[in-house]
Amino acid sequence: MLFQTREENKLTSLSISQINQNRFQPREDFDREELLKLAASIEVNGLIQPIVVRRISPEGYELVAGERRLRACVMAGLTKIPAVVINCTQRQSAVFALVENLQRLDLNMFEQARAIRRILLDCRMTQEQLARQLGKNQSTIANKLRLLRLEEEEQELILKFGLSERHARLFLKVSDDKRIDCIKRAAKYNMNVAQTEQMINNMKEEREEEEKASHRPKIVFKDVRIFMNTINKAIETMKQSGVNAALMKKENDEYIEYTVKIHKNGAAPSTKRTA
């Protein structure tokens, strides 16, 4: 429901207590030190850039843009804040909040992805519709959403090590059990995107070789006579080559025991008689 008022698109002063937060605010983390610096500046100079709100009831407003400024004003002890009231729907408000943060580059890649997912679900928009609103290609929206397939721990590591969005998309190619090791290795050796891709390709080839090896048929001999014949043939071959070798065999109910004796000098002793 839209509330038409005379204050729309005009600068006005609103009580902070009248303003509700935007539930579609895409930014999740606010640096407290930065907020304190902004609050100190506001105490001295006032708020130069007003926030943007929309009216949601006769006495209430919802923040559209300016979450950081609003928080800093609260920290500075202000009870009123300069604001511009615009006439927009909940869907438009959600998109405006996302656009503002994208343009300011305030969001990390995963905050962007979660904000996009929330807007798509809650506002019942398609990727194509949101892409048009943001001035981006539909494939860009799809690629952002794919990042959410990474586990929370993996996302935290990627941000901690300062790896890029292109790095993050590459890690999606790695099996779940290898992904964290892959992220840590890329960070440890300061790999660029090309080097990371080569590492992942090498890992993939190694895994494929292991899988092939595991599926190769294994020869299982159930008849021990095959091995016994092999031993006998080996001894015969040694004898024919002039090696002094002897094979002794013991057998009981539990096992067969072979003992091989080979003369230290190698050659068999001569059997030639002297006259």
Same domain, 208 and 177: yes
The dihedral sign for the CA sequence 58, 64, 69, 70 = positive
Cα–Cα distance, 219 to 212 (Å, whole number): 16
Same domain, 172 and 207: yes
In contact, 249 and 261? CB cutoff 8 Å: no
Same domain, 57 and 33: yes
Q: Which is catalytic among the residues 62, 67, 111, 154?
A: 67
Instruction: Report the CATH number at residue 123.
Output: 3.90.1530.30
Residue 263 lies in a domain: yes
Same domain, 22 and 59: yes
Please give the chain's pLDDT, 275 residues, in tens.
Answer: 444 555 567 788 999 999 998 877 777 677 888 899 999 999 988 998 899 999 988 889 999 888 889 999 999 999 999 999 988 888 888 888 777 767 665 678 998 898 889 888 878 889 999 888 888 899 999 999 999 999 999 999 999 999 999 999 999 999 999 999 999 999 999 999 999 999 999 988 888 887 777 776 665 556 677 777 888 888 888 888 878 888 888 888 778 888 888 887 755 555 444 43
Predicted TM-score (pTM) above 0.75:
no
Question: Which domain, by its residues, includes 20?
Answer: 11-145
Q: How many domains does the chain have?
A: 3
Same domain, 101 and 53: yes
Q: Is 254 a catalytic residue?
A: no
Cα–Cα distance, 140 to 6 (Å, whole number): 39
Same domain, 116 and 16: yes
Locate 3 and state its tokens.
């509330």
